[in-house]
Amino acid sequence: MHSFQRRAALSKILFGLAGVTLAGITPAYAQRNPSLREELKYRERALGQRHCASCVHFRPGSADAAGHGANHCELIPNDDEINPGGVCDLWSNS
């Protein structure tokens, strides 16, 4: 095997390992529920004074080192990336 071929093969292996590593560090709680978000017309920006942080359904969590939050909405299961500054059509004042 030529030096160039060896380097190319090594690069593929290293990039492959990097992909596994990056996938491995994705927080287990970083998940979204896109279908329900769409159904409830969830958006990442507040509507005036209406935002998730002031909603009775909001359940705040703590962010990890990568900035991923663990914020939940009790009306959107399997989703822990709810933005405190977001809002949906079911906002209800807390």
List of residues contacting ligand SF4 (CB under 6 A): 42, 52, 55, 57-58, 73, 75-76, 82, 86-88, 90-91
Q: Please state, as a whole number, how many other Cβ atoms lie within 10 Å of the Cβ of residue 91.
A: 21
| Residue in the structure block whose two tokens are 């914020």 | 71
CB of 9 to ligand SF4, least distance (A): 48
CB of 72 to ligand SF4, least distance (A): 8
Return the amino acid letter for 5.
Q
CB of 25 to ligand SF4, least distance (A): 27
Q: Is 72 helix (H, G, I), strand (E, B) or coil?
A: strand
**C-beta of 11 vs 94, nearer to ligand SF4:** 94
Is residue 62 within 8 Å of residue 70, measured between CB atoms?
Answer: yes
